[in-house]
Chains A and B, each alone.
Chain A
């Protein structure tokens, strides 16, 4: 009951947050220099031509009037039409979102596996040279930003040892039988592992670039949590019962130590989605982030608004889900 009430309150605050984001984005992108009309002005445009173009795209009205028109459209599911792509914004955004979610999801899985492995190895071999090497490696992974990892991987696996595809989401010559944009997921569901291999091959480098810094964060936090847990009484008791070190770490300590890491993973997932913007661009990956950069370069205001709202919605929903999961997993929170 308490959980349901908390959920409802969070849902309401989410709506308020989204409205706030909508207001800020709408006004800010109209105030910053650079408008789409100036970018498409023909060489010999007269004042009348400029006025005509402004009216054509609805920029002849005051900003509050534009906001009201846009908001009423959004409430009816109409996010407007992209100026550069001449298609409904919502269609464009929903079409690209699955690619970004799959990329971020794959990066998260890779980061969790690498980070988890490093933390467990570091804990198991604590005080040895291996732990020191893991710490140094984690420091390096953290200090290099994801796009530089991307460039490094392009050099390694695209040029020196060209085994992975540098750009795109799928080989252009392949015929895709998919009905959704969740290519990777759908290829598994359809048991088309030939396609899965191609899609995963395209996704591997951008996903790794995103995952490496995150894996270091996960690894460090989990290792620290494990270290603290290893000194607790129940762990000592397990040792005195004669359990081996691997059993103590995996079966006893990990269950408690993983909770703060799970929260971090949830929070980092939102940052991961934000990080896709640059990485998608670098690898010409057809996700939402790549489209966002084009929208900003071309000052495609309706598209920028649509993308930001969707990103904001995604962030708040993920945070909500993380909070709910945490409450469910943590008995102290579950029972108030």
Chain B
């Protein structure tokens, strides 16, 4: 057969069209292997030790392979998991837990109460490097009898069971870990979660296989590949080009564009992370008028609408509506006229502005720097002249721990158990390394709440603390973040309020 130039060109064009079609098809065809373009890489497989253990952004991967002691529903409420029952005795000097029967580790061995006791004891041992050791060490003398566990309360902490579905609250395989050691575990981790690790290439991807014996039922997708794609533009390209089925944490403008295009579906739900501004009790923040004026001058809804395409929920305290101690009656209204009056009474105004520095990250959270720029613009109108200092998040942590933040500093706070101790508590209690407000009146209000055994009294106490903070403008809460998730039409994603994108919760559309 002889090929003419025209025939050759026609065949080439047909071939090219076919190749494009074959590449573009997978996103819309039936999904055999779910591919997720994830925003952060996984550094380490031990979810209980080292810095990774307290990194909220990678908990979704841990939760795919490991189980926490207690489960957590998408609305942040606890649910039976490995433990089916838990609690204190009447005077809260003892604890008791019941371990679910018939569970298995990924290597086929049985998960028993011994594993739970070992995991809790190991977490409390300061030599293992568990960052939350200070909580786990509040219980001890744990003993397993069949599937029942009992123990002593060494120091009462009302949140100890909440930490069992929070950072480092994972059950680890005793026999396997002791056999392979820390290094061996990093190379071949096993857990009891819905997925088993099939292949792991750090900084590139982790490939997971559904665990057939998972106590909660086998996952819908047999194989899940989580690609670590740190660049937001590349993540958008991954889903748009059909190389990934699901992605998250993309710019809101891109989210709207992709969702509006009709080929992809999306969800944008508020999560437990908030944006806030720390106020350090140094000059000029010792002047209550300056603080109150700074808070009142900010139109939070305007910032959300203009900079975040409307994706965000304004907040007045460090508690979001999903947190236990949320009190809708506490309001910090936007009132620039009143703010100007307050400044005037302290001798400041547009002609004689009060000056200070505000620190912020740039690009660590969506539009963080731009939000601070907008705030500084709003302040300028009433007589506050703030100079913006950009720093890395690592520097923020160091300055905060040393109580050396600027008078104001932007930060994002995550609290996926929704308890006031892990939001207002640690952020505002002077002796905590995470607080920069050291006022004695606030310390005196918070101190008794740490060990309060009456739950109603405890929550009421925290609400009173939040009210006091709002009335005196000791911190500047801004917004509750909304997490954008984009998916191919073949996948139904159930968002989790903690912000964890869980493959186990994904179903076929």
Contact = CB atoms under 8 A, between A and B. Distances in A.
A163 B19 CA distance: 8
Contacts, number: 170
B133 A166 contact: no
A196 interface: no
Contact of B401 (A41, A86, A161, A285): A41
Q: Which of B204, B393, B402 is most buried by chain A, counting CB atoms within 10 A of its CB? A: B204
B52 interface: yes
A170 B201 CA distance: 10
A13 to B, nearest CB: 34
A34 B395 contact: yes
Q: Which of A56, A166, A173 is most buried by chain B, counting CB atoms within 10 A of its CB? A: A166
Interface string B387-429: 0000111110111111000000000000000000010011000
B202 A286 contact: yes
Given A43-B434, A284-B228, 9 more contacts: A34-B394, A35-B394, A38-B401, A38-B402, A39-B394, A40-B54, A173-B207, A284-B234, A297-B393
Interface string B426-447: 1000011110000000000000
Contact of B207 (A45, A84, A172): A172
A107 interface: no
B499 interface: no
Given A83-B51, A294-B43, A43 B432 contact: yes
Contacts of A225: none
A319 interface: no
Given A33-B399, A41-B401, A53 B131 contact: yes
A149 to B, nearest CB: 13
A172 B135 CA distance: 39
A154 B228 contact: no
B186 interface: yes
A91 to B, nearest CB: 9
Nearest to A153: B237
Given A42-B131, A165-B243, A172-B225, A84 B52 contact: yes
Contacts of B402: 38
Interface of A: 33-36, 38-46, 49-50, 52-53, 56, 82-87, 151, 154-155, 158-159, 161-163, 165-170, 172-173, 281-286, 290-291, 294, 297-299
B51 A290 contact: no
A44 B432 contact: yes
What 4 A-B pairs are tightest by C-beta distance, nearest first?
A: A34-B394, A43-B426, A162-B241, A40-B51
Q: How large is the interface on B (under 10, 10 to 19, 20 to 34, 35 or more residues)?
A: 35 or more
28 contacts: A33-B391, A33-B399, A34-B392, A39-B394, A40-B50, A42-B54, A44-B426, A53-B131, A56-B127, A56-B129, A82-B43, A84-B51, A87-B183, A151-B233, A154-B237, A158-B241, A163-B19, A166-B241, A166-B243, A167-B228, A172-B199, A172-B225, A173-B33, A283-B234, A284-B231, A284-B234, A286-B203, A291-B203
Contacts of B399: 33
Given A46-B134, A84-B44, A294-B43, A41 B243 contact: no
Contacts of B241: 158-159, 162, 166
B49 interface: yes
Chain A interface secondary structure, helix, strand, loop or mixed?
loop
Contacts of A34: 392, 394-395, 397-398
Contact of B204 (A43, A52, A282, A284): A284
Given A34-B392, A39-B51, A45-B433, A168 B134 contact: no
Contacts of A39: 51, 394, 397
A70 to B, nearest CB: 19
A307 B43 CA distance: 16
Contact of B50 (A49, A86, A161, A162): A86
A36 B52 CA distance: 11
A298 B57 CA distance: 13
Contact of B131 (A33, A40, A159): A40
